[in-house]
Chain A
Amino acid sequence: MATLIHPKRALSTMPLKSSAPLGAALAYLGIERAVPLFHGSQGCTAFAMVHLVRHFKEAVPLQTTAMNEVSTILGGAEQIEEAIENLRKKAQPKFIGIASTALTETRGEDVQGELKEIVARRTDFADTRIVYASTPDFDGALQDGWARAVEAIIATMLPEQCERDVALRQVTLLPGSHLTPADIEELARLVRSFGLHPVVLPDISTSLDGHVSEDWSGASLGGTRIDDIPSIARSACTLAIGSQMEGAAKLIEDRALVPYQVFPTVTGLKPTDAFVRTLMGLSGVQDPPETLKRDRARLMDAALDAHFHIGGLKVAIGADPDLMFALSHALAALGARIVSAVTTSQHSAVFDRMPCAEVLLGDLGDLERGARAGGAELLLTHSHGRHVAAALDRPLMRVGFPIFDRIGAQDACRVGYRGSRAFYYEVANIVQSQHHRARPEDFGAAPISEEFDHVPHATRH
């Protein structure tokens, strides 16, 4: 049960959050042959693209409407139309996801209305699905932009209907932005292991998982198939991972009467149990596969081995709300103490359940102060946290976005029985690698007299 604190200060030192349009771009990249398009000045796109490239070590298709002084004053509809036309020529995308930026939102453009007019007029655009999400940089963080983009996809592409096709044995998986490609892959595997077919939206596990593709593409390299998106209306259930996805799940229910369940976290024993329990109920499988049972038993053993290192461990964490909650919850379940929690967005339902007294809506400067005051022994945040780690001389476990000074960020799996096991080992091993050799002065003991020290022979032989 934590209170959200808004620090009273004007200066943000070492920003923690990435902005909302970037989150939207990331979500769009989880759609087949997609190109995200930022409606703003070209710098907005350049910064975001560099961020994404440094994290994923992949060429990221990300385009801009390149707003100039004139279009900023007179309106950017023409820029959008031109951008779409050029993108279609250059990259033949099946999907263009537009995200607004602070610039166009401040101006107050009715992009939705203009886009409607463009699509109606330009019938030649028909084979490209175009989606628009309002994601001003000045509101919320990466996970909010992601959620807005997914909601926009659903609002635009999901038919209004209420016919289930139970024979599909299909469920919809809505992963939050805090999940890595490996996380999504693991959740889809879990769903499949109950004989259910998951439609994942958006699915960065096939586009940003880091693979060498057959040929060069100017659009995303994988992702949710365009044709699968309308079929979400026929799923038996929507499983939303992360409370950020509740809005999207609710939207599916509104449009297609598909019931939903939100899993604020699927990291740790109990949260995974809850997820498995739901899959059991959906599939009617009382006796899950042996590998799943074994994975649970192995997670319990990992927890037993890891609790010696995690029990009582003082942790400082800085991340988007859902990631912060998932990891904090899993660590607290093994007895860790969250001494400092800093997050990026107030739009979240997780704060009530955070295992600490307060959560700061702040930056890495706040994390540094909180970690110092709380005597944190381990820091969990993204790569920029290295400055805090250096200042405090404490180990940093890189989580979230961006991770640019380590490779393989997309492969870190911290969900389900398997991912939780890996997470506990990872934390316990970081703790062990910091092993402090006891010294006499730790206990206030005087050093041993130098008289007893061996004086090496100056010359020998």
Chain B
Amino acid sequence: MPDTVKNKIQDVFNEPACGTNVSKSEQQRKKGCAKPLTPGAAAGGCAFDGAKIALQPIVDVAHLVHAPLACEGNGWDNRGAASSGSELYRIGLTTDMSELDIVMGYGEKKLFKAIKETIDAHDPPAVFVYSTCVPALIGDDVGAVCQAATKTFGTPCIPIDVPGYVGSKNLGNKLAGEAMLDHVIGTMEPAEPTPYDINIVGDYNLSGELWQVKPLLDRLGIRILGSLAADARYAQVAMMHRARVTMMVCSKALINVARKLEERWGIPYFEGSFYGISDTSDALRTMCRMLVERGADSALLDRCEALIKEEEAGIWAELEPLRPRVEGRRVLLYTGGHKSWSVVAALQELGMEVIGTSVRKATDEDKDRVVEVMGDDKHMFDNMAPRDMYRLLTEAGADLLMSGGRSQFVALKAKMPWVDVNQEKHEPYAGYMGMVDLVRAIDRAVNNPMWAELRGPAPWEEPITGPNALPPLSGACPVTGALAGREAPATVPASTGPAAMPDAARRDQGPAGFGGFASSQTDFEDC
């Protein structure tokens, strides 16, 4: 591992703004935030994955991955972060290192050429160059290549040094943030800074969630100046140092960025969430209060309260008609972090019963809030193996699982309705209006008539009932005039007991009781 990366890692492991980190001993702190990975029992992404997730939402940048194919080839175009402008961030760009590149050390040259081709083809405001395990191992100096490329082509080429083996996704998030602090933030100035400028960090604008909240900011006259979140432009990252307040959305992953913005440029930060009604209101209140503290007109506070009052009343009026559709349903929440509790209150308010909520990735404050909204900690659980989840769903009589994509099949194969509330979801559930979408999604899932059909027995799970299975006859025989009845010769005789399928061997012998049948045109093409 190059010293630069090593030093960076030690730096991000020392996070004075994080309570958990501060309370650790010096030695513990050096080990980092993530739990040590267990071979054979690890799931989740690497540092490269984390860095890519954190930065890819910057939409007009070319994200070039210096790696053999797996890193980008297996992972691109799989997230629903929406853009209102450039679509360049969706394009997978990689050097696709070959065996020859690795053995002969062609990596740096190839990278330089790839940067040139990227700029020629797309002319981006910047190229983010991600270094991964293999180039780090063979000693490619990505930093030097970026420097040379920046100088030659005049387009900023930013090295993101995140070989997967250095650690987890969380560490990757932080290293990505460091790269922004080192190379991007503070490199551009806004035309006209205002006292209503904020930074948004860490929202992924999944299916447009940020835009469900943005109208509220628009109405309050608050501008998203800087952004290290989805739908960000490179320029917005570069101007982050001129905002008045930073909001970290739902996550402490990029807390190093927020803290250093405060240290270097005096921008205070807060953590908030736009999931759930009360959370959205809280976030808006905090944001306005902090802006006023930093020089915004104090009338902002009143406008904020008026807006919250109006929006909350409006949303409850919209939700009320949905109440009968979801009332009394039993929900198991398997998400984590903020969402452990932020949507619970709203679901309960609509008469749903939350039978359990996962507190993975949740902080102590999060856990306190869970206890607060749910009455006790009996309904809290950490990670759960799929098998246990399957058991819990069926035994606890859940009506619905709300979770991320990975556990969806646990629910579906148990013929249990499921609503996606994590990153792969296709619907936005943020802000006030998002709550209506969420409840509609729940309604659509639990009230789908399909579940009853799927849970019913297969035709062969119930015994056939002799000749009665044949439709009864009616009328009289036109020839003999005989009335149809039990003794009418019109039914196939019930064979002695349910017959097994005639197989090829039996067909050869000719099944007893059905003369003529053996030589019939019957074909058992795929029996």
Contact = CB atoms under 8 A, between A and B. Distances in A.
A305 B409 CA distance: 10
With most chain A CB atoms within 10 A of its CB, the pick from B124, B450, B493 is: B450
A284 B492 contact: yes
Given A169-B517, A282-B469, A287-B498, A197 B522 contact: yes
Nearest to A285: B499
Interface string B464-494: 1100111111111111101010001111111
A236 B454 contact: no
B319 interface: no
B459 A277 contact: yes
Nearest to B214: A445
Interface string A376-404: 00000000000000000000000000000
B388 interface: no
B295 interface: no
Chain B contact residues, majority secondary structure: loop
Contacts of B120: 460
B470 A443 contact: no
Contacts of A446: 214-215, 218
B524 A237 contact: no
Interface in B394-432: 412-413, 415, 428
A438 B514 contact: no
Contacts of A440: 84, 208, 211, 214
A253 B84 contact: no
Contacts of B479: 160-162
Nearest to B216: A445
A108 interface: no
Contacts of A333: 449-450, 453
A122 B522 CA distance: 39
B310 to A, nearest CB: 14
A279 to B, nearest CB: 9
Interface string A150-171: 0000000000111111111100
A195 B522 contact: yes
Interface string A331-360: 011110000000000000000000000000
A260 B484 CA distance: 13
Contacts of B444: 311-312, 335
B515 A289 contact: no
Nearest to B501: A289
A192 B155 CA distance: 70
Contact of B86 (A255, A258, A285, A454): A454
B211 A255 contact: no
Contacts of A335: 444, 447-450
B493 A166 contact: yes
A454 B498 CA distance: 75
Contact of A167 (B191, B478, B516): B516
Interface stretch (A201-209, A296-304, A320-328): A296-304
A454 B459 contact: no
Contacts of A274: 459
B516 to A, nearest CB: 5
Given A197-B522, A287-B498, A460-B153, A334 B478 contact: no
Nearest to A236: B492
A107 interface: no
A444 interface: yes
A302 to B, nearest CB: 11
Interface in A266-318: 269-270, 273-274, 276-278, 280-289, 291, 293, 296, 300, 303-305, 307, 311-312
A269 B452 CA distance: 11
B445 A273 contact: no
Contacts of B517: 167-169, 195, 197
Contact of A253 (B454, B463, B475): B475
A259 B450 contact: no
Contacts of A285: 498-501
Given A167-B514, A169-B517, A284-B492, A451 B191 contact: yes
A293 B473 CA distance: 30
A454 B84 CA distance: 13
A189 B224 CA distance: 63
Interface residues of A, number: 78
Contacts of A273: 456, 458-459
Interface stretch (B25-33, B232-240, B272-280): B232-240
B526 interface: yes
B526 to A, nearest CB: 5
Given A280-B469, A288-B501, A448 B84 contact: yes
B525 A286 contact: no
Given A280-B459, A443-B215, A304 B412 contact: yes
B85 interface: yes
Given A192-B522, A280-B460, A335-B448, A454 B208 contact: no
Contacts of B522: 169, 192, 195-197
Given A236-B491, A448-B231, A255 B478 contact: yes
Nearest to A165: B516
Interface string A236-250: 110000000000000
Given A281-B464, A443-B214, A454 B125 contact: yes
Given A286-B463, A288-B501, A457-B154, A443 B433 contact: yes
Interface string A103-132: 000000000000000000000000000000
A254 interface: yes
A287 B490 contact: no
A174 interface: no
B520 interface: yes
B502 A195 contact: yes
Interface of A: 160-169, 189, 192-193, 195-197, 236-237, 253-261, 269-270, 273-274, 276-278, 280-289, 291, 293, 296, 300, 303-305, 307, 311-312, 332-335, 437-440, 442-449, 451-454, 456-457, 460-461
Interface of B: 60, 82, 84-86, 119-120, 123-125, 153-155, 190-191, 207-208, 211-212, 214-215, 218, 223-224, 231, 233-236, 239, 412-413, 415, 428, 433, 440, 444-445, 447-450, 453-454, 456, 458-460, 463-465, 468-480, 482, 484, 488-495, 498-502, 511, 514-517, 520-527
Given A277-B459, A289-B524, A311-B444, 8 more contacts: A164-B490, A192-B524, A237-B470, A285-B499, A289-B527, A333-B449, A438-B207, A445-B218
